[in-house]
A and B are shown apart, each in its own frame.
Chain A
Amino acid sequence: MSSSATPTIRLQNVQKNTLQRKLYFFGALALLLVAASFFSEQLCPYDPYMQDMSLTKAAPSAEHLLGTDRYGRDMFSRVIAGSKTSIFSTLLLVSFITLFGSFIGIVCAWMGRKTDTVLMRLSDMFLAFPGLVFALAVAAVLGGGVHNAIFALAAISWPKYARLARSQTLALQAAPFMQAAKMAGSSTFKLIYKHVIPNISGPILVTAVLDIGTMMMELAGLSFLGLGAKPPIPEWGSMMSDTRNLLPTQPWVTLAPGFAIFFSVMIFNLLGDTVRDYLDPKRR
Chain B
Amino acid sequence: MNYAFKRLIQLIPILFGITFLSFLLMYLAGSDAVTEMYSNRGVEVAQEIIDERKAALGLNLSFGEQYLNWLWAMLHGDMGASFVTGENVLTAFLRKLPATLMLTGLSIVLTVLISLPCGILAAVRHDRSVDLILRFGSFMGNAMPNFFVAMLLMEFLGIQLGLLPVISSGTDLESALLPTMTLAIAMSAKYMRQVRSAVLEELGKDYVLGARARGISDSVILWKNVMKAAMLTIMTLLALSIGSLLGGTAIVESIFMWDGVGKLAVDAINMRDYPVIQAYVMWMAIIYVLVNLVADLLYHELDPRIRLGVNSK
Contacts and interface: CB of A to CB of B under 8 A. Distances in A.
A282 interface: no
Interface in B25-54: 25-26, 28-29
B208 interface: no
A225 B250 contact: yes
Given A132-B247, A251-B155, A224 B147 contact: yes
Given A137-B277, A247-B159, A225 B266 contact: yes
B145 A130 contact: no
B147 A237 contact: yes
B270 interface: yes
A278 to B, nearest CB: 18
B284 interface: yes
Nearest to B20: A125
Interface string A198-221: 000000000000000100011011
Interface stretch (B11-19, B72-80, B113-121, B170-178): B11-19
A221 B151 CA distance: 13
B148 interface: yes
B155 A121 contact: no
A255 B151 contact: yes
A132 to B, nearest CB: 4
Interface string A158-197: 0000000000000000000000000000000000000000
Q: What secondary structure prevails in chain B residues at the interface with A? A: helix
A255 B155 CA distance: 9
A254 B151 contact: yes
A133 B246 contact: yes
A87 B265 CA distance: 27
A220 B150 CA distance: 14
Interface residues of B, number: 51
Contact of A258 (B140, B148, B242): B148
Contacts of A21: none
Given A226-B270, A248-B159, A129 B18 contact: yes
Q: Which of A128, A130, A138, A220 has the most CB of B within 10 A?
A: A130
Interface string B72-103: 00000000000000000000000000000000
A133 B280 contact: yes
Interface stretch (A72-80, A97-105, A108-116, A259-267): A259-267
A62 interface: no
B275 interface: no
Contact of B145 (A128, A226, A227, A261): A261
Contacts of A262: 140, 143-144, 148
A240 interface: yes
Interface in B54-70: none
B221 interface: no
B189 to A, nearest CB: 11
Interface string A136-155: 11111100000000000000
A133 B250 contact: yes
Given A128-B18, A221-B146, A254-B151, A141 B265 contact: no
13 contacts: A122-B17, A125-B18, A125-B20, A130-B243, A133-B284, A133-B285, A136-B266, A140-B272, A140-B277, A141-B25, A226-B270, A244-B151, A254-B155
Interface of A: 121-122, 124-126, 128-134, 136-141, 213, 217-218, 220-221, 224-227, 237, 240-241, 244, 247-248, 251, 254-255, 258, 261-263, 265-266, 269
